[in-house]
Amino acid sequence: MTERPRPTRKPESAPPAPGGGPAAPLPGVSAERFVSPFPPARLFCGCFSAFPELLAGIEPRLEALWGPVLRRSALLAFPDTRLYAPTMGRGLSRIFYVFGGLFAQDCLPAAKRAACALEEEIARAATRPVARPINLDPGLVSEGRLVLASTKDRGHRLPREGGVFEEITLLFFEGAFQPLLWTYPDFRAPEVRAFFEAVRAEFLDETREVRKRYAPPRRRL
């Protein structure tokens, strides 16, 4: 029987970072300074919590890791409240922060480790009456897809470095981001997909010249 991936979310713990140390800050760079074997992408972090003040207050801590916030979503209701209620409480809200500058598409494992470390630091402070006050999910938006990272193996995820896996959560075709079989319910929501379509459009305008360097060579007929 073929395994059917399930669009569920479970709490994640930070995988061990290579070398045993914390993940270093990883700010984006300008188009002029971008050098990578991979085309550029736009980094974002999805955050959800039962404490709206924590969602607002996390912004400068994320900027310390990944540079200035370029765009933020409205505060949205998070649909998977029953699954997370035992560790995060009820009445969860969600916000997305999008970071300026360009990021290489192989940066996501380091970003995920940094997010897990920040989550654990906030939980250890024990200033909220739940075990997990906030969930931080970094991802990448590029021309053709939206990618998320996870520390859990599933059939639709590919292993990367440091115990991190990656999955394509939304695929861009027919002029819009489209969900896949395993896409989480919150990323299926029209308002979330519309937000990331606007992020993608802005990103494409900014990277028009950079992306030309990665275009496949034209074959002579």
Contact 66, 43 (CB under 8 A): yes
What gap in Å lies between CA 108 and CA 19, rounded to an integer? 17
For the purposes of burial, counting CB atoms within 10 Å of the CB of 56, is it exposed (0-12), middle (13-18) or buried (19 or more)? middle
Flag whether 56 is in a domain. yes
For the purposes of burial, counting CB atoms within 10 Å of the CB of 28, is it exposed (0-12), middle (13-18) or buried (19 or more)? buried
Residue identified by tokens 């997305």 is: 96
Flag whether 217 is in a domain. no
Q: Is residue 183 very low, low, confident or very high in pLDDT (cuts 50, 70, 90)? A: very high
Flag whether 75 is in a domain. yes
What gap in Å lies between CA 49 and CA 81, rounded to an integer? 10
C-alpha angle 146-37-194 in degrees, rounded to nearest 5: 15
Flag whether 85 is in a domain. yes
Other CB atoms within 10 A of residue 90 CB: 10
C-alpha angle 62-156-65 in degrees, rounded to nearest 5: 10
Flag whether 123 is in a domain. yes
In this predicted model, what pLDDT tens digit does every residue of 81-136 receive, in sequence order? 678 899 999 999 999 999 999 999 999 999 999 999 999 999 999 889 999 999 99
Q: What is the pLDDT of residue 163?
A: 80
Flag whether 24 is in a domain. no
What gap in Å lies between CA 221 and CA 204, rounded to an integer? 29
| pLDDT higher than 90, residue 174 | yes
Q: What is the pLDDT of residue 11?
A: 45
Flag whether 17 is in a domain. no
Flag whether 86 is in a domain. yes
Look up the domain containing 183 and give its range. Answer: 35-211
Q: What is the pTM of this model?
A: 0.84
Q: Provide the domain count of the chain.
A: 1
Task: Please give the backbone phi and psi of residue 56, each rounded to the nearest 5 degrees, phi first.
Answer: -75, -40
